[in-house]
Structure 1
Amino acid sequence: MSPAAREPTVHEFGPPSPQTVKLGGRTRRYWLPIARGWRMTPRGIRMLQRVMDPTDHVPILKGTAVEKATIGGVRCERVRARRAMKDHPEQPAPASPRDGEPLVLYLHGGGYVFGSVRTHRGLVARLSHVTGLPAVSVDYRLPPEWILPAPIEDALAVYRAVLEHTDASRIVVAGDSAGGNLAHQLVLHAAEAGLPMPAALVLLSPWSDLSASGESIRLNAAEDPFIPEVGLRRCARVAAGGKDPRDWRISPLFAPEELQAQLPPTLVQVGAGEVLRDDGARVAHALAAAGVPATLEVYEGALHVVPAWAGTPEARDALHRIADFVADLLPGAPEPDAAAADEATDRDADGIVPGPPGAPGRT
Structure 2
Amino acid sequence: MALAPVIEQRAGCGRGARAAARLMRVFMRPLVTRLPWTPLTLRFAPLLDLGAALMPSPRGTRVTRVAGLGCAAEWVRGRGVPADSDRVILYFHGGGFVACGLRTHRRMISRISQAADMPVLSVAYRMQPRVPIQTSIDDCVDAYRWLLETHDPDDIVIAGDSAGGYLAFMAPLHALRAGLPRPAGIAALSPFADLDIDVKIAHANAPLDPFIPARRMWDMVRTCFPGAELTDPWLSPVHADLAGLPPTLIHVGSIEVLLADAELMAERLGAAGVACTLQIWEGQAHVFQIFADLSREGLIAIQEIGAFARRVTTAVTPQKAA
TM, length-normalised to structure 1: 0.83
Report the 3-state secondary structure (helix = DSSP H, G, I; strand = E; otherwise coil) of the residue aligned with 1:270: strand
1:128 aligns with 2:113: yes
Report the 3-state secondary structure (helix = DSSP H, G, I; strand = E; otherwise coil) of the residue aligned with 1:214: helix
1:217–1:67 CA distance, 2 compared to 1 (3 A):
farther
Indicate which of 80, 100, 113 corresponds to 1:115.
100
Deviation at 1:54, TM superposition (A): 2.2
Residue range with higher mean Cα deviation, 274-283 or 244-253:
244-253
TM, length-normalised to structure 2: 0.93
Indicate which of 20, 35, 39 corresponds to 1:23.
20
1:293 aligns with 2:275: yes
1:217–1:188 CA distance, 2 compared to 1 (3 A):
farther
1:182 aligns with 2:167: yes
Report the 3-state secondary structure (helix = DSSP H, G, I; strand = E; otherwise coil) of the residue aligned with 2:180: coil
Q: 1:250 — aligned with what?
A: 235
Report the 3-state secondary structure (helix = DSSP H, G, I; strand = E; otherwise coil) of the residue aligned with 2:45: helix
Deviation at 1:74, TM superposition (A): 2.6
Q: 2:140 — aligned with what?
A: 155
Name the amino acid aligned to 2:17. T
Indicate which of 241, 246, 253 corresponds to 2:226.
241
Name the amino acid aligned to 1:76. A
Give the distance between the partners of 2:27 and 2:232, measured in 1 at CA: 35
Question: Residue by residue, what CA displacement relative to the aligned partner does 1:77-112 show, whole Å, maximum 9, x if unpaired?
Answer: 111111313xxxxxxxxxxx54x7211000000111
For structure 2, the 5+ residue unaligned runs are: none
For structure 1, the 5+ residue unaligned runs are: 86-96, 336-363
Residue range with higher mean Cα deviation, 63-72 or 152-161:
63-72
Name the amino acid aligned to 1:273. I
1:41-80 maps to which residues of 2 (within 5 A)? 41-51=38-48, 53-54=50-51, 56-80=53-77
C-alpha contact 2:196 2:230 (8 A) present in aligned 1: yes
Identity of aligned residues (%): 34
Aligned length: 317
Indicate which of 215, 235, 243 corresponds to 1:261.
243
Deviation at 1:213, TM superposition (A): 4.4
Give the distance between the partners of 1:152 and 1:172, measured in 2 at CA: 17
Deviation at 1:21, TM superposition (A): 1.3
C-alpha contact 2:5 2:276 (8 A) present in aligned 1: yes
Give the distance between the partners of 1:222 and 1:231, measured in 2 at CA: 13
Q: 1:12 — aligned with what?
A: 9
User: How well do the aligned residues superpose, as a CA RMSD in angstroms?
Assistant: 1.8
Q: Which runs of 4+ in 1 moved over 4 A?
A: none
Report the 3-state secondary structure (helix = DSSP H, G, I; strand = E; otherwise coil) of the residue aligned with 1:245: coil
C-alpha contact 2:72 2:123 (8 A) present in aligned 1: yes
Give the distance between the partners of 1:333 and 1:252, measured in 2 at CA: 32
Name the amino acid aligned to 1:288. G
Name the amino acid aligned to 1:195. L
Indicate which of 152, 162, 178 corresponds to 1:167.
152
